[in-house]
Amino acid sequence: MKYLSFDLRALACMRIGIAIVILVDLLIRASDLEAFYSDTGVLPLELLFRKGWNEYFVSVHTISGLWQVQLILFLFSFFCAVMLLMGYRTQLFTVLSWFMLLSLHNRNGFILQGGDDLLRMILFWGMFIPWGARYSYDNIRSSNKKIGFAIPASIALFAYLLQISYLYTGSALLKGPEWNSEFTALYYTYSLDQIAYSLTKYLYYHPSLLKELTRIAYYFELFVPVLFFLPFAHSFFRFMAVLLIVVFHSLNELTLLIGLFPMIGMVAVIGVLPTAAMDKIEALTVRFRMVLSKTIWATGHYINRLITWKPPVVFPFYLHYVQTAVLVFLTVFVFDWNFSNLSFIHSKLSDHFRFIGYSLRLDQSWGMFAPGVFKDDGWYVLKAMPSSEAEPFDLLHPEDELTLDKPKNVVAVFKNDRWRKYSESYLLSDNEFLRGYFCNYARRVWNEKHEDRLIQSLEVIYVKEFTEPDYKYSIPKEEVLWHCE
């Protein structure tokens, strides 16, 4: 096997995985269609353009504040993702899926996290890599089937590999003493009740173990991408890198509420699997692949009546040089953007080119829990004052007696990770403009659903519990973030 070659089947598996992630993400987001994407929600277009917009952003999701229009856009995005999964006109639907995801992210950036950036970037590079050459309707219909599976690394594939490296090594380089010398980062991370599952507490009260796990996590992130580039036993080390990354994200999935990030991280690295590994996977999945192939063929045959199938576009030879030049520039551009994020780098990316990053949403920073872990832990209380003479109550726990005490399970308060991320953005003083909109939204929605228990006013209270070192107790402090009536 040639050094740094890629397997078409691995890339196809990554395409299928990415499409599934998009579908799952859309279903989760659709459950909060009005809340996060309409003018009657927490971020109307007027507020978005005033406080959460960049002049270079592009978004078709801003054409209307009606949730019905957003629903149509969601359905179109869902359709594009299904086509991407099937590999039906893969080039076209990769571009459309990327653009719709970019548009969706620009509509509400206050609920985004690192996994969203990674998903968007994998889709971007996916527009230039042949991930529709296997396990696809395109491949079934193609009259020009490639015999082999391994292909040499192109500029786009190399950029994809670097993108995976930024996530880990780039993240490690942004981390501070809590990660690389004190090794207390996981202690502070697992102290955050808003993201730590109940299972996490079994690890939390073992300080020596937490220090070792922090050390392992830091050096894992710092060095795991090196395995992609080792010139000896290349296939073995690439497989080990993928396996270790899958294990790493699986552990994060079990211990922390961080949304689809672990799933995205695992899917994004599948494309690195070497040919030897894919040969063994294919041998174990013969029957499944036959069923998949028949399903894709039958579905594609029906879709062909609605959208005529066409083979992938082959650019004229002179345009191939143009595309290569653009890809080289973008690869260097993204590398420089990530390089410029490092605190010890004093030369920053030229402002004259930053518009490219914002317009294509190539902007990225992998400072997850960096340079240090957030210490202002706590929980929310939505104190509602009924219109009648009834006692006030908490909208989050309407059947219980009002209390400022910590809930037994803070994580369970959040409907999904989008709301958890929104609550994190809501807390920041720089985002104080969000507070009144959410307060009024929560009060209105409650009154619409509970006509027999109307509320007159609402207080958004945050009970802050600062995380002290070495398990020291911190007295919770009540802070009223907003009052609306």
CA distances from 145 to 65, 152, 177, 390 (A): 46, 17, 53, 73
Res 146: pLDDT = 64
Query: Which amino acid is located at 128 in the chain?
Result: F
> What tens digit of pLDDT does each residue of 232-247 get?
999 999 999 999 999 9
Query: Which residues sit opposite 379 in a β-bridge?
Result: 463
For residues 359 and 428, is the Cβ–Cβ distance under 8 A? no
Query: What is the spatial distance between Cα 381 and Cα 481, in angstroms, rounded to a whole number?
Result: 10
Q: What is the pTM of this model?
A: 0.95
Res 315: pLDDT = 77
Reduced 3-state DSSP string for 69-116: HHHHHHHHHHHHHHHHHHCCCHHHHHHHHHHHHHHHHHHCHHHCCHHH
> What tens digit of pLDDT does each residue of 45-91 get?
999 999 999 999 999 999 999 999 999 999 999 999 999 999 999 99
Query: What is the spatial distance between Cα 416 and Cα 367, in angstroms, rounded to a whole number?
Result: 22
167 has pLDDT over 90: yes
Query: Which residues sit opposite 378 in a β-bridge?
Result: 464
Res 160: pLDDT = 98
Residues 6+ apart with CB under 8 A from 55: none
pLDDT confidence of 147, banded at 50, 70, 90? low
Query: What is the spatial distance between Cα 381 and Cα 406, in angstroms, rounded to a whole number?
Result: 10
Q: Where are the domains of the chain?
A: 6-359, 376-484
Q: Residue 206, CB half-sphere, CA atoms under 13 Å: how many? A: 9
Query: What is the spatial distance between Cα 120 and Cα 383, in angstroms, rounded to a whole number?
Result: 38
Res 352: pLDDT = 82
Lowest mean pLDDT among 19-28, 81-90, 286-295: 286-295
> What tens digit of pLDDT does each residue of 398-409 get?
999 999 999 999
> What tens digit of pLDDT does each residue of 430-453 get?
999 999 999 999 999 999 999 999
pLDDT confidence of 350, banded at 50, 70, 90? confident
For residues 476 and 406, is the Cβ–Cβ distance under 8 A? yes
Name the range with the highest mean pLDDT among 61-75, 314-328, 349-363: 61-75
What is the rounded average pLDDT of the residues 356-368? 94
Listed residue (85, 24, 19, 12) closest to 260, CA to CA = 24
Res 388: pLDDT = 79
365 has pLDDT over 70: yes
Q: Which position has the higher pLDDT, 321 or 243?
A: 243
Res 145: pLDDT = 64
Res 370: pLDDT = 87
Q: Which alpha helices (H) appear in 108-260, and where do they start and end?
A: 114-126, 137-141, 155-165, 171-174, 177-180, 185-191, 201-204, 207-223, 226-229, 234-255
Query: What is the spatial distance between Cα 74 and Cα 150, in angstroms, rounded to a whole number?
Result: 36
Rounded to 5 degrees, φ, ψ at 250 are -65, -40
Rounded percentage of the chain residues whose pLDDT exceeds 70? 99
3 has pLDDT over 60: yes
Instruction: Name the DSSP class of 196.
Output: B
DSSP helix/strand/coil, 454: coil
Which tokens belong to 299? 């579905």
pLDDT confidence of 199, banded at 50, 70, 90? confident
Res 389: pLDDT = 80
